[in-house]
């Protein structure tokens, strides 16, 4: 028998074009909102609730299409505000059910959980088809050995720079002090554009490239100069030209939360209270007691009470953020490091004010730029349409996927005493995913930056203890999830590495050392990601989630895909997968785009004769 599901499993709405006639409407427009109900239900009436200007409106939705097993309800919604929240109320003999972006329940929900439709939202036109690749420049490829950092070239707190042979393991901080360099540079990235293009990548995210003292370069000394050891500004111009040749986008990384202690602005402020830069920082006791990032003296925090600082960093025409958007560099967006921390110092909480100003500055200059923020926790307050385009989706994708597949949270990465090392059942992984997706407008969810790992986390192959099957499943989930997928350099060939700095090892360029099957899967799914309408712009619905089995669908007007992931061991008994909640009728044929296998729906389910460990299927639906 198939798993028993409550009738509410067949109630669905999301912000995609299948359910909202125009997902990106103009202010003053009227859109049609649709609700789909599959299966036999006790529903006696459906109402659309909205609150324009705080005034509650209940509009009775009318059945617009009645099929054998499905009813579509529709109603018009006037787009009268920049953010237009709405929800559904379903009347049944047993009482009312409330359906919001956080789910369906007899219990009512806070307004913060409503579906949200943004008006006049300038979504980057290129982002839906993007497949990103993150590069830590010093460790990707050495294109010009003449600009390498030399042994002892400079000294920081008694530690000297070390030039390391390519391929040797990064030094632990206690030994290397982030002063171990391998010679990767922008020329090296330019030389590998064809490799990236062949992989299917069409957008790059580079960690900081500006002049700094450490290998990670978050201690920026000059925001207007590309580090000479990475090739300088001329190398960035050359990289831009190379990327243009294959229509590849580029975003750069910058920290607007802090700078490096060698930055001349900070050194001037530290030297004298009379410096015009003194107001850029917060000194508790001048000159050596000042507010810094996580207490690291090398990273003094900016003081955003200074209007002049805001002008220098992003508001003025010649500000840092605008400078690199202009020709000849023409970058396509920014990744803001620790975006959740900027503008926050105790009683002074300017984060949202700064976020809105940054957005206005960037979009006013380059409306199509992508504004991405780092946030390891709940970034949804900054993702409501007036600040960031997206966040690095750790909580809404990375962490629930890692916990589902490996039973390891961020604390496990850090060997912390608060680590969770118990596998997360699929139903709870789905709940976390749905909560964070539902907390933002759908147009934002489509732009979220999804990743399996980064320069700040243990590599996915290491998280999964070298389990190739589960790693392949992780890639299937990454490439089929709503939002924008990003590959961390080397993950596509099976590189391993623990937490920083061991996740920042040199890229392996000897093909005989690659996991070719994993590389081929990345390449195949990157192509699918860019071409499949359901993955580019389709909605999202969890069809079934329990234990080791996760099933969801992506559906657009042109295409319907079902994704099945099994994290458990080999199961010769197989499973019966309920698909009826996704309006997939009996007789429908589902074709696996990875293996070529086909399955036919009967009695609302498909029958998988056996489940192999780490199985990942991407099934395209053909209706009878």
Model confidence pLDDT, tens digit, residues 227-237: 999 999 999 99
> Confidence class of residue 410 from pLDDT cuts 50, 70 and 90?
confident
Distance CA 274, CA 75 (A): 63
pLDDT range class, residue 67, cuts 50, 70, 90: confident
Distance CA 122, CA 140 (A): 34
Q: What is the mean pLDDT of residues 561-577?
A: 94
What Cα–Cα distance (Å) separates residue 393 from each residue in 390, 482, 565? 8, 11, 20
The pTM of this model reads: 0.97
Per the annotation, the verdict on 374 as an active-site residue is yes
Q: Is residue 337 flagged as an active site residue?
A: yes
Helix (H, G, I), strand (E, B) or coil at 259: coil
CB 500 within 8 A of CB 218: no
d(CA 593, CA 75) in angstroms, rounded, equals 36
At residue 380, does pLDDT exceed 50?
Answer: yes
Average pLDDT of the residues in 305-316: 98
The pLDDT-based confidence of 194 (bands split at 50, 70, 90) is very high
Q: Considering the candidates 14, 114, 138, 374, report the single residue annotated as catalytic.
A: 374
* Cβ proximity of 441 and 14 under 8 Å: no
468-480 and 516-531 helices, crossing angle to 10°: 10
Longest CA–CA separation in the chain, Å: 79
- Please, which pLDDT band fits residue 572 given cuts at 50, 70 and 90? confident
Residue 388 has pLDDT above 80, yes or no: yes
Cβ atoms 161, 149 nearer than 8 A: yes
User: How many whole angstroms separate alpha carbon 222 and alpha carbon 192?
Assistant: 27
Q: pLDDT value at position 217?
A: 98
DSSP 128: G
The one catalytic residue in 180, 337, 456, 491 is 337
Q: Six-digit token pair at 169?
A: 């393991």
Nearest alpha carbon to residue 86 among 35, 132, 128, 36 = 35
Band of pLDDT at residue 320, cut at 50, 70 and 90:
very high
3-state secondary structure 454-482: CCCCCCHHHHCCCCHHHHHHHHHHHHHCC
What is the predicted pLDDT for the residue at 413?
A: 86
In whole angstroms, what is the distance from residue 496 CA to residue 445 CA?
30
* Residue range 478-505: mean pLDDT, rounded: 98
Q: Find all residues with CB under 8 Å of 573, minimum gap 6, and list them.
A: 610
* pLDDT at residue 137 is higher than 90: yes
What mean pLDDT value characterizes the chain? 97
Q: Say what the pLDDT of residue 3 is.
A: 65
Tokens found for residue 193: 């554009």
The pLDDT assigned to 304 comes to: 98
Place of tokens 């009482």: 95
CA distance 239 to 332: 13
What would the DSSP string read from start to end of 150-208? PTTS-EETTEE-EE--TTSPPPPHHHHTT-EE----HHHHHHTHHHHHHHT--EEEEPP
What integer pLDDT is reported at residue 344 of this predicted model?
97
pLDDT bracket for residue 284 (50, 70, 90)? very high
Give the model's pLDDT for residue 516. 98
In which element (H, E) is residue 618 found? Answer: strand 616-622
Q: For residue 131, give both structure tokens.
A: 């497949």
- pLDDT computed for residue 1 by the predictor: 37
Query: Region 299-312: what's the mean pLDDT?
Result: 98
Sequence-distant (6+) residues with CB within 8 A of 388 are 336, 339, 355, 359, 371, 372, 373, 379, 382
Give the chain's end-to-end CA distance (angstroms, integer): 23
* Residue range 436-442: mean pLDDT, rounded: 98
- pLDDT band at 615; cut points 50, 70, 90: very high
Q: Which residue ranges form the domains of the chain, and what is each CATH number?
A: 7-118 (2.60.40.10), 129-256+305-535 (3.20.20.80), 258-301 (no CATH), 538-622 (2.60.40.1180)
Whether residue 584 contacts residue 621, with contact meaning beta carbons closer than 8 Å, is answered with yes
Q: Are 526 and 479 in contact (CB under 8 A)?
A: yes
Segment 265-291 shows an average pLDDT of 98
Q: HSE on the CB side for 162, CA within 13 Å?
A: 17
What was the pLDDT predicted at 41? 95
d(CA 250, CA 422) in angstroms, rounded, equals 38
Contact predicate 254/215, CB 8 Å:
no
pLDDT digits (tens, 9 = 90+) for 11-34: 999 999 999 999 999 999 999 999
């Amino acid at each position: 028998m198939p798993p028993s599901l409550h009738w509410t499993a067949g109630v669905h709405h999301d912000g995609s074009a299948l359910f909202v006639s125009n997902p990106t409407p103009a202010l003053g427009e009227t859109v049609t909102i649709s609700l789909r109900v599959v299966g036999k239900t006790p529903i006696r009436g459906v109402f659309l609730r909205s609150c324009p200007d705080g005034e509650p409106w209940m509009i009775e939705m009318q059945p617009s299409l009645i099929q054998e097993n499905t009813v579509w309800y529709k109603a018009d919604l006037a787009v009268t505000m920049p953010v237009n929240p709405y929800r559904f109320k379903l009347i049944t003999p047993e009482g009312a059910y409330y359906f919001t972006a956080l789910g369906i329940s007899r219990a009512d929900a806070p307004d913060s959980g409503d579906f949200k439709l943004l008006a006049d939202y300038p979504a980057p036109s290129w982002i839906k088809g993007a497949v990103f690749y993150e590069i830590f420049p010093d460790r990707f490829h050495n294109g010009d050995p003449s600009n390498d950092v030399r042994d002892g070239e400079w000294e920081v707190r008694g530690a000297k720079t070390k030039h390391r042979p390519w391929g040797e393991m990064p030094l632990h901080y206690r030994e290397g002090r982030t002063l171990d360099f391998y010679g990767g540079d922008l020329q090296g990235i330019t030389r590998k554009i064809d490799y990236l293009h062949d992989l299917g990548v069409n957008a790059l995210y580079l960690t900081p490239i500006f002049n700094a003292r450490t290998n990670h370069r978050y201690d920026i000394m000059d925001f207007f100069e590309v580090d000479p050891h990475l090739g300088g500004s001329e190398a960035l111009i050359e990289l831009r030209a190379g990327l243009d040749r294959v229509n590849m986008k580029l975003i750069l990384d910058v920290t607007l939360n802090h700078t490096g202690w060698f930055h001349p602005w900070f050194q001037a402020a530290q030297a004298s209270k009379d410096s015009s830069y003194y107001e850029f920082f917060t000194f508790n006791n001048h000159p050596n007691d000042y507010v810094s990032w996580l207490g690291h003296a090398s990273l003094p925090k900016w003081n955003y009470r200074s209007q002049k600082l805001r002008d220098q960093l992003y508001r003025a025409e010649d500000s840092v953020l605008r400078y690199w958007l202009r020709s000849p560099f023409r970058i396509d967006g920014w990744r803001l490091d620790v975006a959740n921390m900027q503008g926050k110092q105790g009683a002074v909480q300017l984060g949202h004010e700064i976020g809105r100003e940054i957005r206005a500055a960037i979009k006013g200059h380059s409306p199509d730029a992508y504004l991405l923020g780092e946030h390891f926790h709940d970034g949804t307050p900054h993702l409501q349409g007036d600040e960031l385009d997206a966040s690095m989706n750790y909580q809404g994708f990375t962490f629930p996927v890692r916990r589902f597949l490996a039973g390891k949270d961020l604390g496990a990465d850090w060997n912390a005493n608060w680590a969770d090392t118990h596998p997360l059942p699929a139903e709870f992984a789905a709940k976390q995913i749905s909560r964070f997706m539902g907390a933002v407008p759908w147009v934002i969810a489509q732009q979220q930056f999804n990743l399996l790992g980064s320069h700040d986390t243990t590599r996915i192959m290491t998280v999964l203890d070298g389990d190739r099957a589960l790693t392949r499943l992780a890639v299937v989930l990454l490439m089929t999830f709503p939002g924008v997928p990003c590959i961390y350099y080397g993950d596509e060939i099976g590189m391993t590495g623990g937490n920083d700095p061991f996740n920042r090892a040199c890229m392996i360029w000897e093909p005989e050392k690659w996991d070719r099957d994993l590389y081929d899967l990345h390449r195949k799914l990157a192509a699918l990601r860019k071409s499949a309408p359901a993955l580019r712009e389709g909605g999202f619905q969890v069809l079934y989630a329990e234990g080791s089995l996760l099933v969801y669908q992506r559906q657009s007007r042109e295409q319907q895909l079902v994704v099945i992931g099994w994290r458990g061991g080999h199961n010769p008994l197989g499973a019966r997968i309920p698909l009826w909640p996704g309006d997939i009728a009996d007789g429908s044929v589902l074709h696996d785009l990875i293996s070529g296998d086909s399955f036919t729906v009967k009695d609302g389910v498909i029958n998988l004769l056996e489940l192999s460990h780490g199985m990942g299927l991407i099934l395209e639906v053909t209706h009878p």
